[in-house]
Amino acid sequence: MHIVVVGAGSLGSLLGGLLAPEHDVTLVGRAPHVAAVERDGLSMTGLERFHVSPAARTDPPETADLAVVAVKSYDTAAVAEQLADCDLGACLSVQNGMGNEDRLADALSCPVLAGTCTYGAGLVEPGTVDFTGRGEVVLGARAGGELSTAARVAEAFTEAGVATTLATDMPRRLWAKLAVNAAINAVTALARVENGALTSGPGAALAADAARETARVAREQSIALTDERAVELTRQVASDTAANRSSMLQDVAAGRRTEVDAINGYVVETAERPVPVNETLVRLVRTWATGVDAD
Residues 109 and 148 in one domain: yes
Q: What is the reported pLDDT for 172? A: 96
CB contact at 8 A, 175 and 218:
yes
Residue 292, pLDDT score: 74
According to the model, what pLDDT value does residue 291 have?
81
Which of 84, 89, 85, 87 has its CA nearest to residue 105? 84
List, in order, residues 6 or more apart from 40 with CB less than 8 Å away.
127
Q: Are 69 and 92 in contact (CB under 8 A)?
A: yes
Say whether both 81 and 100 belong to one domain: yes
142 and 6 in one domain? yes
Quote the pLDDT of residue 6. Answer: 98
Q: Residue 168 CA to chain centroid, in angstroms?
A: 19
- CA dihedral of 19, 25, 28, 32, whole degrees rounded to 10: 80
Q: Compute the mean pLDDT over every residue in the chain, rounded to the nearest whole number.
A: 96
Exposed / middle / buried, residue 274 (Cβ in 10 Å: 0-12, 13-18, 19+): exposed
Domain count, the chain: 2
The region of weakest confidence among 112-116, 130-134, 190-194 is 130-134
Residues 282 and 287: their CA atoms lie apart, in Å, by: 8
Q: What are phi and psi of 257, to 5 degrees?
A: -60, 140
5, 30 Cβ separation under 8 angstroms: no
- Is the same domain home to 161 and 219? no
At residue 186, does pLDDT exceed 90?
yes
Report, in angstroms and rounded to the nearest whole number, the Rg of the chain calculated over CA atoms.
18
Q: Write the pLDDT tens digit of every residue in 251-285.
A: 999 999 999 999 999 999 999 999 999 999 999 99
Residue 83 DSSP one-character state: H
How large is the angle between the packed helices 227-240 and 201-220, nearest 10 degrees?
140
CATH number (domain holding residue 97): 3.40.50.720
CATH code, domain with 283? 1.10.1040.10
Output phi, psi for 214, to 5 deg.
-65, -40
Give mean pLDDT, residues 74-86: 96
pLDDT at 132: 87
**Is there a single domain that holds both residue 178 and residue 237?**
yes
**Whether residue 176 is found in the same domain as residue 84:** no
Question: Do both 190 and 269 map to the same domain?
Answer: yes
Same domain, 14 and 114: yes
**Catalytic annotation, pick one of 177, 212, 216, 235:** 177
> CB neighbours (10 Å) of residue 203?
20
Note if 72 is an active site residue. no
Strand order in the sheet with 120-125: 50-52, 42-46, 128-133, 120-125
Closest by CA to 20, choosing from 64, 53, 58, is: 53
Report the distance separating Cα 102 and Cα 279, nearest Å: 24
Tell me: the pLDDT tens digits for 120-173?
Answer: 888 999 999 999 888 899 999 999 999 999 999 999 999 999 999 999 999 999
Q: What's the maximum distance between 2 C-alpha atoms anywhere in the chain?
A: 53
Both 222 and 164 in one domain: the answer is no
| Contacts of 22 by beta carbon, 8 Å cutoff, 6+ apart | 156, 159, 160, 161
For the cut 60, the answer to whether the pLDDT of residue 101 exceeds it is yes
Whether residues 186 and 95 fall in one domain: no
Half-sphere exposure (CA, 13 Å, Cβ side) for 187? 27
Same domain, 46 and 137: yes
Examine the fold and report which residue of 144, 168, 192 is the final residue of a domain before the chain moves on: 168
Q: Rounded to two decimals, what is the model's pTM?
A: 0.92
Residues 179 and 93 in one domain: no
CA distances from 24 to 3, 27, 141, 272 (A): 6, 10, 24, 46
pLDDT at 120: 86
Which of 111, 143, 168 is the last residue in one of the domains? 168
**Res 295 pLDDT > 60:** no
SS3 1: coil
Domain extent at residue 197: 171-294
Q: How much is the average pLDDT of 193-206?
A: 96
Task: State what percent of residues in the chain have pLDDT above 70.
Answer: 99
Contact 161, 75 (CB under 8 A): no
Query: Considering 168, 198, 231, which residue would you say is the last residue of a domain?
Result: 168
pLDDT band at 241 (very low <50, low <70, confident <90, very high): confident
Q: What is the mean pLDDT of residues 68-78?
A: 96
| pLDDT for res 23 | 98
The amino acid present at 45, given as its one-letter code, is T
